[in-house]
């Protein structure tokens, strides 16, 4: 399968959709595209430069979460390949496929429409720069190795161990804004995901996010776990914003 582009989808509860879109628009320095879909439930967060790699969706049931869109030039072939590697097919919508990985993480295969321009980080007042540029898939420990093999084989991106044993990166692609990080968790039964931001100053970025209604959940040496206004978790990390490393 050729991965042309990746998009992280924030699936937001309908009753918090407007507030959440305003928060993520402000945090990422984006504009919001006109809504689309049968119920006007989809929109793109369009960066100042580059092609969109973040999208939002209003969901009527449940607390929301995140899923991944993989843009490819052969949706049907990629779907068959994913199933052969252990994914479960949930829905064939004709133009796109909805599947779940071996650990239960939901993702979609969608047509690649030529997206190729990587977004640039934004410099904020105070001189810190940041960009939301990584999807971290949180995987229960018993199925972690199987899930790493699945994503590495499906994307063709080599897994790279981190200094911390619970993390594995998939080799970052220079032309694609969004990177993939796989994290092993000691609890849980189904894989989920959260968004990571890279910044030149974690403390400054935390203060900026708090100003828009986010709260600090937990502090680590190289990253801070945050909660957005609706309770969704994400991380602000000390990775290099221009390279993602």
Cα–Cα distance measured from residue 236 to residue 219, given in angstroms and rounded to the nearest whole number: 10
Our CA angle for 223, 233, 111, nearest 5°, is 100
The pLDDT assigned to 62 comes to 76
Distances (CA, A) of 162 to 121, 141, 181, 242: 23, 16, 10, 19
pLDDT along the chain (245 residues), means of 10: 96 93 96 87 93 95 90 97 98 95 98 96 95 98 97 98 94 96 93 98 97 97 96 96 93
Cα–Cα distance measured from residue 150 to residue 101, given in angstroms and rounded to the nearest whole number: 8
- What is the enclosing helix (H) or strand (E) of 20? helix 17-28
Structure token pair of residue 171: 């080799």
The pLDDT assigned to 191 comes to 97
**β-pair partners for 101:** none
With the C-alpha atoms ordered 178, 184, 187, 190, is the resulting torsion angle positive or negative?
positive
Whole-angstrom distance between the N-terminal and C-terminal Cα of the chain? 25
Cα–Cα distance measured from residue 100 to residue 222, given in angstroms and rounded to the nearest whole number: 31
The pLDDT assigned to 41 comes to 81
Phi-psi region of 156 (alpha: psi -120 to 50; beta: other; left: phi over 0): left
Give SS3 for 151: helix
Q: Which of 94, 114, 98 is nearest to 106 (CA)?
A: 98
- Indicate the pTM of the whole model: 0.96
Cα–Cα distance measured from residue 140 to residue 238, given in angstroms and rounded to the nearest whole number: 25
Give SS3 for 134: strand
Residues shown for the chain: 245
Structure token pair of residue 74: 């052969």
What are phi and psi for residue 199, nearest 5 degrees? -150, 155
């Amino acid at each position: 399968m050729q991965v042309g582009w990746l998009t992280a989808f924030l699936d937001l509860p309908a009753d918090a959709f407007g507030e959440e879109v305003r928060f993520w628009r402000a945090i990422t320095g984006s504009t919001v595209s006109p809504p689309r879909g049968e119920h006007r439930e989809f929109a793109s967060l369009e960066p100042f430069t580059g092609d969109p790699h973040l999208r939002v969706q209003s969901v009527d049931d449940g607390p929301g979460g995140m899923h991944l869109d993989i843009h490819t030039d052969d949706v049907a072939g990629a779907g068959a390949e994913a199933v052969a590697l252990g994914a479960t097919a949930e829905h064939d919508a004709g133009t796109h496929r909805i599947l779940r990985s071996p650990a239960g993480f939901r993702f979609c295969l969608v047509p690649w429409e030529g997206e190729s321009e990587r977004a640039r980080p934004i410099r904020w007042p105070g001189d810190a720069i940041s960009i939301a540029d990584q999807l971290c898939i949180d995987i229960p420990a018993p199925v972690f190795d199987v899930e790493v093999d699945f994503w590495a084989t499906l994307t063709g991106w080599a897994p790279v161990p981190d200094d911390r044993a619970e993390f594995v990166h998939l080799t970052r692609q220079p032309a694609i804004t969004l990177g993939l990080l796989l994290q092993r968790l000691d609890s849980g039964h189904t894989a989920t995901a959260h968004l990571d931001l890279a910044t030149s100053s974690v403390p400054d970025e935390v203060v900026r996010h708090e100003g828009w209604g986010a709260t600090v959940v937990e502090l680590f040496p190289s990253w801070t776990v945050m909660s957005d206004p609706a309770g969704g978790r994400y991380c602000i990390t000390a990775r290099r914003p221009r390279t993602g490393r």
